[in-house]
Amino acid sequence: KRKECDDMDDSKIIELYMERSEQAISETSKKYGRYCHYIAYSILHNDEDSEECVNDTYLRAWNSIPPKRPSKLQTFLGKITRNLSLNKWEKLSAEKRGAGILDELSECIPAEQDAVNTVENMVIRDVLDRFLDELPAETRKIFVRRYFYMSPVKEIADEYGLSESKVTVTLFRTRGKLKSVLEKEGITL
């Protein structure tokens, strides 16, 4: 296991991007390659497709920095990887839309249909951020692990020392609370 102190500081990695140094990609890969692969693999369940998304993440970061200067490089890379992976998953499973983990959330959050929904999506994002801020830490971690990182229930249970049924019930109840909060805000399916 490589020690964190061996990793280059994020601000130095970002400076490499700003200077257009190709070393930025190798340093990003060293520090965040496993993290990005974890996100991609959690969604795609395929090493080859996951690697492709991780490499595309590096390209997207290269093309975005500059002009962007992310305040949290890990979060920036995680979002890119997640979005690329979800897009790839959607292409690969077009005939099975809405299946699996994303289907669990569909009872709370409406699917994006067109550009008209952009403002509503911004409102939903704001409500979701406030909702997550108000959750107990353990519940928030479980929710984020499941619906942002797409982690399997068993993995979440093992990570937090909980039973799978406890995780499943927590997710079910949290989705119910989210649905109520969204409805109070006037957001319905």
Query: What's the pLDDT score for residue 122?
Result: 62
What percent of the chain has a predicted confidence (pLDDT) above 90? 56
Length of the chain: 189
Average pLDDT of the residues in 144-172: 93
104 CB contacts (<8 Å, ≥6 apart)?
146, 147, 171, 175
pLDDT at 96 over 60: no
When pLDDT is averaged across residues 158-183 and rounded to a whole number, the result is 93
Give the mean model confidence (pLDDT) for residues 37-59.
Answer: 93
* pLDDT level of residue 166 (50, 70, 90 thresholds): very high
pTM of the model: 0.64
Question: CA triplet 16, 17, 22: central angle to 5 degrees?
Answer: 75
Q: Are 78 and 60 in contact (CB under 8 A)?
A: no
Query: Cβ(42)–Cβ(25) under 8 Å?
Result: no
User: Which phi and psi (to 5°) does residue 93 adopt?
Assistant: -125, 40
Q: What is the DSSP string of 76-124?
A: HHHHHHHHHHHHHHHHHTGGGTT-THHHHHTTTSPPP-SGGGHHHHHHH
The pLDDT of residue 15: 95
pLDDT number for residue 1: 37
pLDDT for 173: 95
Look at residue 45 and tell me whether its pLDDT is greater than 90: no
Cα 149 from chain centroid (whole Å): 5
Average pLDDT for the chain:
84
Q: How many angstroms from the chain centroid is the CA of residue 48?
A: 19
Quote the CA–CA distance of 32 and 111 in Å, as a whole number: 30
Mean of pLDDT values over 72-76: 93
Residue for token digits 């289907």? 103
